[in-house]
Amino acid sequence: GGDDACQCEDFTETISREEQQGWLPAHEANKKRIQQNVDYDVVFFGDETTEEWNGYWYNKPSQDGHLIRKYWNETFTSAGGGELEGLALGIAGDSTANLLWRMQHGELPQSLNSKVFWLLIGTNDLSRGGCSEEATVLGILRTVEEIAFSNPGSVVVIQGILPRSSRQNGSLEKVGGRAHHLFEWHHSETFKANQARRHFLLWPSIQKINQQLATFCKEHDHLVYFDVDSLFLGTLGNDHYTAKSQQIVSDLMPDYVHLSVEGHRVLGNAILRELQRIIFEDDERNDVE
């Protein structure tokens, strides 16, 4: 990806994770979820966030998964009382290369039709995969290309990577020289290249990736960029002082990486509003066919 320290999977290749326990069963379960002769309003492709909408993590019931699934079914399925017909196809820990493999092995069949395809992918390219910003962006766009080839009349929504923090208080790093300095230090002989990327400050990288994705979507019809960072961020302070750094709201992301039940509700409600805008309102630039 234009970064000598980037040791991530090749975004141009499809890569399975069959060595991961539960991954292949999760993939097979996703294929079975695809109903024939159903015109979906929205199909979600993603990682752990998307898999939890079905109540699972590596095809096993997740903590509070039944509550997340109940909310999702009531919001995104007609059977649950929602106004939309949705389908969630995700597997925990997946990168863009893993998602591409899944798409080409049964999760994006020719029979799968949807007005909107929604992508929530990329965070694991950075964290687990140690990818550069450039490689992560290209990996995401490769999955967009796969969808556009099979469903040229559909709208594809690229959701920006959600904020995440490894700090104990959930504070986020600022973009600046410090991040570059830390990267160079970790890139010394003491550390391997992939360890360097994993210790690299993630929030500045996420911001750069999201900015590039937003720009790309503006330049292409039938592509929509969707960002909800502000819903998950806040600042500490009182009447006399406001902290300079932003923090992830712990009620929504208890570990500052993964969503709580309430976090899923906040995200889901925001997604629903955007889908209503795309599908039901007159949006000529991103009109669904």
Residue 240 has pLDDT above 90, yes or no: no
Q: Quick one: angle between helices 133-150 and 202-218, nearest 10?
A: 40
CA-closest candidate to residue 30, choices 92, 73, 96, 123: 92
Confidence of residue 175 (pLDDT cuts 50, 70, 90): low
Are residues 82 and 76 in contact, defined by beta-carbon separation less than 8 angstroms? yes
The phi and psi torsions of 252 (rounded to 5 degrees) equal -95, -30
* DSSP code of residue 148: H
- Model pLDDT, residue 166: 82
Asked whether the predicted pLDDT for residue 263 surpasses 70, the reply is: yes
pLDDT exceeding 70 applies to what percent of the chain? 84
pLDDT in tens, 87-96: 999 999 999 9
pLDDT at 266 over 90: yes
How far, in Å, CA of 163 to CA of 174, rounded? 12
The answer to whether 204 touches 173, Cβ cutoff 8 Å, is yes
Which domains does the chain carry? 23-164+202-234+258-280 (3.40.50.1110)
% of the chain with per-residue pLDDT over 90: 72
Confidence of residue 173 (pLDDT cuts 50, 70, 90): confident
Pairing of strands 155-159, 223-226: parallel
Choice between 89 and 188, residue whose per-residue pLDDT is larger: 89
C-alpha to C-alpha distance for 136 and 38, rounded to whole angstroms? 32
140-161: average pLDDT: 97
Band of the pLDDT at 26, cuts 50, 70, 90?
Answer: very high
Q: Which residues lie across from 88 on neighbouring strands? A: 44
Query: What is the DSSP code string of 182-249?
Result: HHHHHTSTTS-HHHHHHTS-HHHHHHHHHHHHHHHHHTSTTEEEE--GGGGEE--B-SS-B-SS-EE-
Which of 23-32, 180-189, 190-199, 236-245: highest mean pLDDT?
A: 23-32
Burial class (CB in 10 A: 0-12, 13-18, 19+), 139: buried
Task: Label residue 171 by pLDDT band (50, 70, 90).
Answer: confident
Q: Is the pLDDT of residue 255 over 70?
A: yes
Residue 150, judged by CB atoms within 10 A of its CB (0-12, 13-18, 19+), counts as middle
